[in-house]
Amino acid sequence: MFVILYYDVNSKRCGKMLKTCRKHLQWVQNSVFEGEMSDAGYEKMILELRKIIKVDSEDSIVVYKFRHMKYYDRCVYGTDKKEDIKFI
Amino acid sequence: MFVILYYDVNSKRCGKMLKTCRKHLQWVQNSVFEGEMSDAGYEKMILELRKIIKVDSEDSIVVYKFRHMKYYDRCVYGTDKKEDIKFI
């Protein structure tokens, strides 16, 4: 499946979130990630991320799951931060 | 088309961004929005948003455009802030 993931967490946990998301997905911008992954890979990632977030601190993760990577366009307006992408 | 929009702007411009995005799309979480819109509606929205952002301040907007609303799942982990949604 193709996944778009966005997180909003307390700054204390940003580093861990970034590192874990980058392990599984491609970084797009700030707290937005995307990538193709298997069901098993997805479950593994979510398990890791849920261990990091604290619900009582209003941390949250939003995930869009698509059957295929079928978005026909991704547009960036303003500063494109994608040049910083590192593939791990 | 179906649109997922994410923005990251200086806090000074957050209010304006939120208001403008809400006029055109449905608020999902923090700075994430989604919705069905026409090409003309999209162009109108982008024109309005580009007037708000300041590129030299590293403001940015990322938009995913899909032909149809075909994501088969949107999952929220942690705090679900969607209860605050207002349709304008």
Cβ-nearest to B64 among A55, A62, A74:
A74
Q: How far is B48 from chain A (nearest CA, A)?
A: 12
Binding-site residue numbers of A for Mg(2+) are 8
More confident residue, A21 or A81: A21
* Cα atoms in the 13 Å half-sphere on the side-chain side of B73: 13
* CATH, range B2-77: 3.30.70.240
For residue B26, the model assigns a pLDDT of: 93
**Contact residues, chain B, for A58 at CB < 8 Å:** 78-79, 81
Report the complex ipTM.
Answer: 0.73
Q: Among 2.60.40.1120, 3.30.70.240, 3.40.50.150, 3.40.50.740, what is the CATH number of A2-72? A: 3.30.70.240
Tell me the percentage of chain A whose pLDDT exceeds 70: 84
Q: Closest by alpha carbon to B35, among B61, B70, B64, B3?
A: B3
Q: Cβ distance A15 to A46 under 8 Å?
A: no
- Structural domain boundaries in chain A: 2-72
Tally A–B CB contacts below 8 A. Answer: 115
Rounded mean pLDDT, A12-27: 95
Calpha distance B36→A33 (Å, rounded): 22
pLDDT tens sequence across B51-82: 999 988 888 999 998 876 666 677 888 776 66
